[in-house]
Amino acid sequence: MSAPVDRARRLLPLLLPNHPLGRSETTCLYRCANACAHDAPNTSDNAYFGDVVREVVSRRGVLKAGAVLAVAGAGATALGTGTAAAAPDVTIDADLGGGRRKDGLNFTAVAPNTEDRIVTADGYESAVVIRWGDPVVPGAPAFDFDHQTPEAQALQFGYNNDFCGLVPLDGWNRWLMGSNHEYTTEPFLHKGYDANNPTEAQVKIGWAAHGFSVVVVEQDHRSGKLVPKLDRKYNRRITATTPFAVDGPAAGSKFLKTSTDPTGKRVLGTFGNCAGGVTPWGTILSGEENFNGYFAGGASITDPVALARATRYGLPGAATERKWERFDKRFDLAQEPNEFNRFGWVVEIDPHEKDSAPVKHTALGRFKHEGCTIRVAKDGRVVAYMGDDERFDYIYKYVSKNKIVKGDSRRAREQNKKLLSDGTLYVAKFSGNSPVAEIDGTGKLPSDGHFDGTGEWIKLVSGDRSFVDGFTAEEVYVFTRLAADKAGATKMDRPEDIEASPRTGKVYAALTNNTDRGKPGKEAGTEINPRVGNKNGHVLEWEENRGDPTATTFRWTLLLVCGDPSTADTYFGGYDKSQVSPISCPDNVAFDSSGNLWISTDGNALGSNDGLFAVPVEGRYRGRVKQFLTVPKGAETCGPVINDRFILVSVQHPGEITGASADNPLSHWPDGGASQPRPSVVVAWKKDNGRICD
């Protein structure tokens, strides 16, 4: 056993001028059209969760003495100077890094910091796999920041990569790596950018920088690095102008038909793509999330029904920030009112077939899809879990009608690619089991020492049959949010990535934050969303009835209530809070082969850089959060892939700090010197090339 080591950690003061939490004004403007600066679009009168709780008969007795935590004290102070964390009031014991641990997390936790580099746990190295502008397709030119063209960008790695997934290729150290490109930040793409008058070339560069990249990567076992290959058979770029096929029950819907596509079955492009998933049949899923900010002309909608529908999805303004509508009429609702409905879907890409058309799956519903992950039930049907990343929006589940075909033959793959085209769509309703008086919005634990309860999956639609009064099946698929409102779903704190444990089958969801909770006219703290003004988020765990993912009931608990562990409004699965890393704004989740949950963060409200964290979800170390790495300043940690020999993270929007731009870069990662910051995929591995975290 190793000698005890002082693992002191201190939270950094809040980064000022970021907006609204740990994000810059520019990031908020270009990624989500400043969603947090506007009222949440869910103004439905379905029961708030607080009302649901009041209907539940408490199964608890008197308060258990000593089980309730005190209310949180004063907040953090203003930002000082320096880039690294000072020593904290909290001491981390040697178990965070010393000795061989059976939970597979044998590394020293990284201290919170604001450094402009990747900081990994001791004993690990990291390197860039691929960065914005690097060649993807053979024949692509080398990146030249000052001489970009749409034609070059369409052959190069896109901007602001988020989700990352690996599909095994022919060989144990070769993969097809899929990365989506969520959004562009034009003031960081071009020097001298005029936001009021972008050029046609700048707009078309933006179109080409969105979408998706498929790249063959190989591992160099001498160095541990992953190396991209310019492969003619597999490598491809998908952009905002690539043709997509629309499938499922709403394909051909009157709500999807436009003047250029009277069939309603062919859409150009994808954008706003956030998280995703890799299917058991070897395809990649990606969720279209903040698509509303790409459309203008909202004032042209005068029909009350159409206006209510558009408003529920974040009604577009008179003009967009990027001004795409000046160069393609489909982005102007006054000219193409239905184009707006052709985004907000889960897309599926087959990386094995370079020339295949990507697909938009209408059976999975339309909302701001954070992502989509797949689980196979014992009877062979597949289950997809999805979160709608908006304040007070919902968690969904889809169960396929047909069963998976075993094997990797071409026939099996073609059949399995139809599994997301026909099934049943559900939305979640949660109930707490503690007395209402014990849930006061401060994050104080109820007397039983847990935030927990039960839930049910409310059936929305299956095939051509709607289960929502007043909605046709077509309307449920295209206007899913409104149907879920009517069904009485539980309003959540920005549900994001969702993943089932490959070991236990329990399901975990990241809920990033919701600073609107508890504001006048908004839902207060509830057992499943226990804090008003929730700026740090939480992680939800649930277990389907009898372990069957197709079940319609479940039990839930909160694994983590995130934030500064020294404050009383946080909870770490019951683990000693003096022995954990601070964590804020969970976003993406993934599992390792030991069954540990890995969490990447977006918008750290504790004043330090975002990072990647690991936490056991079973056994004596359940809740022991440890930070494995941090990303450069201004960046978000996305798309973790946890392999036994390496870890991949997407480093999105590095250097996007208020006041920064291409004319005034405040980060020079990853190339250093006076270079511009470039979003990238990064690999981390053990220096001795051993198993991760052993």
Mapping DSSP to helix (H, G, I), strand (E, B) and coil, where does residue 428 land?
Answer: strand
Six-digit token string for 181: 């490109």
Best CA proximity match to 233, nearest among 277, 179, 167, 176: 176
User: What CA–CA distances, in Å, run from 150 to 161, 215, 309, 416, 573?
Assistant: 18, 20, 34, 35, 49
Token look-up 């003619």 returns: 232
What pLDDT was estimated at residue 102?
55
Phi and psi of 281, rounded to 5°? -100, 10
Mean pLDDT of the chain: 89
Six-digit token string for 278: 């890799």
Best CA proximity match to 259, nearest among 194, 207, 163, 334: 334
User: What is the SS3 assignment for 50-65?
Assistant: HHHHHCCCCCCCCCCC
626 vs 224, higher pLDDT = 626
Q: Residue 508 pLDDT > 70, yes or no?
A: yes
Q: Residue 403 pLDDT > 60, yes or no?
A: yes
pLDDT band at 74; cut points 50, 70, 90: very low
Q: Is the distance from CB of 393 to CB of 481 less than 8 angstroms?
A: yes
Residue 125 CB contacts under 8 Å (≥ 6 apart), including other chains: 224, 684, 685, 686, 687
Residue 81 CB contacts under 8 Å (≥ 6 apart), including other chains: none
pTM, rounded to two decimals = 0.90
d(CA 630, CA 584): 13
620 φ/ψ sector (left φ>0, alpha ψ -120 to 50, else beta): alpha
- How many residues does this entry show for the chain? 694
Q: Is the peptide bond before 654 cis (omega within 30 degrees of 0)?
A: no
Q: Residue 78 pLDDT > 50, yes or no?
A: no
Mapping DSSP to helix (H, G, I), strand (E, B) and coil, where does residue 676 land?
Answer: coil
User: Taking the domains of the chain in order of start, what are their residue ranges?
Assistant: 25-291+343-686
How many Cβ atoms from other residues are within 10 Å of residue 519's Cβ? 14
Measured CA angle at 139 (ends 137, 141), to 5 deg? 95
User: What is the SS3 assignment for 337-379?
Assistant: CCHHHHCCCEEEECCCCCCCCCEEEHHHCCCCECCCEEEECCC
Six-digit token string for 325: 């509508």
DSSP annotation of 68 reads S
- Of 46-55, 433-442, 504-513, the range with the lowest mean pLDDT is 46-55
Token look-up 């400043």 returns: 34
Mean pLDDT of 455-468: 98
Q: Is the distance from CB of 453 to CB of 433 less than 8 angstroms?
A: yes
What pLDDT was estimated at residue 42?
79
Six-digit token string for 521: 């006219």
What pLDDT was estimated at residue 37?
62
What pLDDT was estimated at residue 70?
24
Chain segment 302-342, per-residue pLDDT in tens: 999 999 999 999 988 889 999 999 999 999 999 999 999 99
Mean pLDDT of 161-172: 93
d(CA 452, CA 423): 30
DSSP annotation of 190 reads S
